[in-house]
Copies of this chain bind each other. A is one copy, B any other.
Amino acid sequence: MATKQKKQAANKKVKTSPVVKVALLGFGTVGSSVARVLAASKFPGVELTHIFNRNVERKRSSAAAKAVPASVVWTDNIDVILNSKVDVVVELMGGLNPVESWLRRALAAGKSVVTANKQLIAYRGASLAKLAAKNNVQLVHGAAVAGGVPVIPGMLQGLGGDQVPRLSGIVNGTCNYILSRMEAGADYATVLADAQQLGYAESDPSADVDGFDARAKLCILSRIAMHAELDPDAVATQTISTIEAIDFSYAKELNCTIRQVSRAELDGRLVHARVAPMLVPLASPMAWSHGTQNMVVVSGRFGGDVVFSGHGAGGEPTAVAVVSDLLAVAQGCTTVELPVRRREVTGDFLAPHYLRFVVDDKPGIVFAISGALSKVGANIDSLLQRRGYPKHRLPFVVTTEPCLTSTIERALASVARMDCMLERPLCLQMLEIEDKAE
Q: Is the CB of A285 within 8 A of B309?
A: yes
- Contact status of A136 and B308, CB under 8 A, knowing A157-B157, A161-B327, A437-B290: no
Nearest CB on B from A155, distance (A): 7
Nearest CB on B from A13, distance (A): 4
State A42–B331 Cα separation when bound (angstroms): 30
Q: Is the CB of A6 within 8 A of B3?
A: no
Q: Per-residue CB proximity of A292-335 to B under 8 Å, as 1/0? A: 11000000111111111111001011011111111111111111
Does A177 have its Cβ within 8 Å of any Cβ on chain B? Answer: yes
Copies in the complex: 2
Q: Is the CB of B10 within 8 A of A291?
A: no
Q: Is the CB of A160 within 8 A of B337?
A: no
- Contact status of A5 and B9, CB under 8 A, knowing A154-B154, A161-B324: yes
A145-153, A347-355, A365-373: which one contacts chain B? Answer: A145-153
Q: Which residues of B contact A17 (CB under 8 A)?
A: 1-2
Q: Is the CB of B320 within 8 A of A327?
A: no
Q: Per-residue CB proximity of A58-77 to B under 8 Å, as 1/0? A: 00000000000000000000
Q: Is the CB of A302 within 8 A of B33?
A: yes
Q: Is the CB of B3 within 8 A of A160?
A: no
State A325–B157 Cα separation when bound (angstroms): 7
State A305–B156 Cα separation when bound (angstroms): 21
Does A159 have its Cβ within 8 Å of any Cβ on chain B? Answer: yes
- Contact status of A4 and B110, CB under 8 A, knowing A307-B310, A331-B337: yes
- Contact status of A156 and B159, CB under 8 A, knowing A136-B3, A316-B302, A330-B2: no
Give 12 A-B pairs besides A1-B13, A8-B9, A306-B308 with Cβ atoms closer than 8 angstroms: A1-B332, A5-B9, A8-B136, A11-B136, A142-B158, A148-B303, A157-B333, A160-B323, A161-B325, A291-B436, A327-B338, A328-B335
Q: 14 pairs across A/B with beta carbons < 8 Å? A: A5-B13, A148-B303, A150-B157, A154-B154, A158-B321, A161-B327, A292-B438, A300-B317, A302-B319, A303-B320, A304-B310, A307-B307, A311-B438, A327-B338
Q: What are the 5 A-B residue pairs with the smallest beta carbon separation, nearest first?
A: A150-B158, A161-B323, A291-B437, A2-B332, A154-B154
